[in-house]
Every structure is written in structure tokens, then in C-alpha cells.
């Protein structure tokens, strides 16, 4: 048996934790609700602290248990949110294409990510949300693409309201995480493999890989 597989109970092969971050109101919760439950709510109920949703999917004939962590964008919850960065394997950075400040603040979120996640260059995707509001757009798609390229990320525009590209965004990040896992897991002595952590999961013991890449520093800001 492959000891890095996750489920002692046998109902999934790998546990993958992704985390969504960005300013309050950009649509992080809505994005996750669309992805997991395929629905949308117009009401704005700001996330308090941190929350998560789960979804089971199959990838390359392996059963994945996805844990999608939803952080609060409000400043007062910042330190609580960053405490969860360390355990996530991939990150979805979200801004609102109609809100310039949320785009400007992506640089701060990225700095937070680099400080508190497993690596200075964590696996992340930049998402410009609310494309259904294209008439109110204040950030051009090319600006989003340029920032993402500078920062070594993929870029995609989504609408949690219409559902456009939401699944595609998660799939892009999952591909990156999957590739890294497949490269890392077999190599026990590899420096990329930071540690293997046994976690208690609903009373069952499972294993979660914590990945750590090199500490080479690279700044994307010009
Ligand atoms: P915090 O929990 O405070 O960090 O906010 P959040 O980023 O989770 O935002 P949330 O998902 O709660 O959405 C904020 C508001 O934007 C809500 O009124 C949503 O209905 C709306 N919203 C989210 N995504 C979209 C979208 O794609 N299009 C439109 N038109 N509205 C959206």
C-alpha cells in the first residue's frame, strides 16, 4: 500500500487543501458556493474568521477529497486567516474586476501569502471575479494577465453569479497541485518534501502531505 495515500477508511485517495483569499466582497464565498453547490446568492454575508467546504472529485482515476478554505477578507480577521496559509497546498487569489482597490491589494495578499505559506513561491492562481458586471469593469483583462505573469501565476476571469469559468479556475490550480504532488510524494528524501503529517479526520487517521519548495526569493514587483 502507498503510505502517502490519505484515507485509512478507503473512501478517498488524497486529501487536498486549497485556500481562497482576497479583499472583503470580491466574491470568495460565492465562488466556493458556486463550485461546490452550483448556486449563487445575491446577499452579502461577510465571512467571520474562516470557513471551509468540501467536494469529492476524481482525477486521473484517483479519488480526491478537496477541502476548500474560505478566509474572511476583512482586515480584523487577517491574522486568523494567515494562520491557515501554512497548511494549504494551493491558493486562489481573488479580486473584483469592478473594484480597483481589490486589484491593487492583490500585491499585499501575495506578500502575506509568501510570508505565511509553505513557500515564497506557492502554487497560486489569480482570479478576476464578477465578469457578469462587465459594464462596470474598472480593471482590464490585460492588467490582470500582466500582474499574474509578473508574479508567476495563471490568470482567469470568472463569474460566481453565472458560473463562468469557476470550475475551470479550480481545475487549473488542481493540475498544478497534482503535478507537484506526483513529483514530490515518491521522493521521500527529496528536500521538496517538507514533512508528512498524520492528521485526525473525523476520528480516522489520515496522512496529509505538506509540501515545501526551495526558498529562492523572487520579487515580481516592478
Ligand atoms: P468576505 O466574506 O467579506 O471576505 O467577502 P467575500 O469575498 O466572500 O464575498 P461574497 O462571496 O460574500 O460576495 C460579496 C457580494 O458580491 C455578495 O453580494 C455576492 O452576491 C456578490 N458577488 C459575488 N460574486 C459575484 C459575481 O460573480 N457577480 C456578481 N454580480 N456579484 C457577485
For residue 33, give the CATH number of its domain: 3.40.50.300
What is the C-alpha to C-alpha distance for residues 81 and 72, in angstroms, rounded to an integer? 7
The pair phi, psi for residue 134, each rounded to 5°, is: -60, -25
The Å distance, Cα 48 to ligand 1 centre, comes to 14
Instruction: Note the pLDDT of residue 150.
Output: 96
Question: What DSSP element (H or E) covers 101?
Answer: helix 100-104
Cβ of 30 below 6 Å from ligand 1: yes
Looking from the CA of residue 33, the nearest atom of ligand 1 is: 11
Looking from the CA of residue 129, the nearest atom of ligand 1 is: 27
What is the C-alpha to C-alpha distance for residues 179 and 52, in angstroms, rounded to an integer? 24
The tally of domains found in the chain comes to 1
What is the C-alpha to C-alpha distance for residues 132 and 85, in angstroms, rounded to an integer? 30
Cβ of 128 below 6 Å from ligand 1: no
- Per DSSP bridges, beta strands 193-201 and 154-157 are unpaired
Instruction: Note the pLDDT of residue 43.
Output: 87
pTM of this structure: 0.84
The Å distance, Cα 185 to ligand 1 centre, comes to 36
Instruction: Note the pLDDT of residue 21.
Output: 95
16, part of any domain? yes
Supply 207's cell numbers. 496522512
Yes or no: say if 98 and 133 are a contact pair by the CB < 8 Å rule. Answer: yes
23, part of any domain? yes
Q: How many CB atoms lie within 10 A of CB 121?
A: 19
pLDDT below 50 — which residues of the chain?
Answer: 1-4, 187-222
Yes or no: say if 190 and 200 are a contact pair by the CB < 8 Å rule. Answer: no
Yes or no: say if 17 and 23 are a contact pair by the CB < 8 Å rule. Answer: no
The Å distance, Cα 145 to ligand 1 centre, comes to 22
Supply 91's cell numbers. 491558493
Supply 14's cell numbers. 488524497
The Å distance, Cα 87 to ligand 1 centre, comes to 25
∠ at Cα 187 (182, 192), nearest 5°?
A: 80
211, part of any domain? no
72, part of any domain? yes
The Å distance, Cα 221 to ligand 1 centre, comes to 28
Q: What is the distance in angstroms between the CA of the first residue and the CA of the last residue of the chain?
A: 48
Instruction: Note the pLDDT of residue 9.
Output: 55
Range of the domain at 45: 5-205
The Å distance, Cα 12 to ligand 1 centre, comes to 31
34, part of any domain? yes
Residue nearest to atom 17 of ligand 1 (CA): 44
What is the C-alpha to C-alpha distance for residues 116 and 166, in angstroms, rounded to an integer? 26
**Residue indicated by cell numbers 477508511:** 9
| Closest among 73, 117, 67 to 95, alpha carbons compared | 73
14, part of any domain? yes
Instruction: Indicate the DSSP class of residue 43.
Output: S
Residue nearest to atom 10 of ligand 1 (CA): 27
218, part of any domain? no
134, part of any domain? yes
Amino acid at each position: 500500500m502507498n503510505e502517502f495515500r490519505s484515507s485509512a477508511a478507503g473512501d478517498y485517495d488524497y486529501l487536498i487543501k486549497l485556500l481562497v483569499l482576497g479583499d472583503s466582497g470580491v466574491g470568495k464565498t460565492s465562488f466556493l458556493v458556486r463550485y461546490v453547490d452550483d448556486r449563487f446568492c445575491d446577499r452579502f454575508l461577510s465571512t467571520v474568521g474562516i470557513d471551509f467546504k468540501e467536494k469529492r472529485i476524481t482525477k486521473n482515476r484517483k479519488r480526491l477529497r478537496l477541502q476548500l478554505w474560505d478566509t474572511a477578507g476583512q482586515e480584523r480577521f487577517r491574522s486568523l486567516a494567515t494562520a491557515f496559509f501554512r497548511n494549504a497546498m494551493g491558493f486562489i487569489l481573488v479580486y473584483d474586476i469592478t473594484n480597483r482597490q481589490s486589484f491593487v491589494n492583490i500585491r499585499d495578499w501575495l506578500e502575506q501569502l509568501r510570508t505565511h505559506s509553505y513557500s515564497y513561491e506557492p502554487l497560486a492562481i489569480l482570479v478576476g471575479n464578477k465578469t457578469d458586471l462587465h459594464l462596470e469593469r474598472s480593471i482590464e483583462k490585460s492588467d490582470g494577465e500582466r500582474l499574474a505573469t509578473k508574479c508567476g501565476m495563471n490568470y482567469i476571469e470568472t463569474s460566481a453569479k453565472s458560473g463562468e469559468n469557476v470550475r475551470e479556475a479550480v481545475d487549473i490550480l488542481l493540475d498544478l497541485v497534482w503535478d507537484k504532488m506526483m513529483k514530490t510524494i515518491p521522493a521521500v528524501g527529496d528536500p521538496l518534501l517538507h514533512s508528512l503529517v498524520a492528521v485526525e479526520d473525523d476520528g480516522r487517521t489520515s496522512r496529509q502531505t505538506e509540501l515545501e519548495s526551495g526558498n529562492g526569493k523572487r520579487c515580481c514587483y516592478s
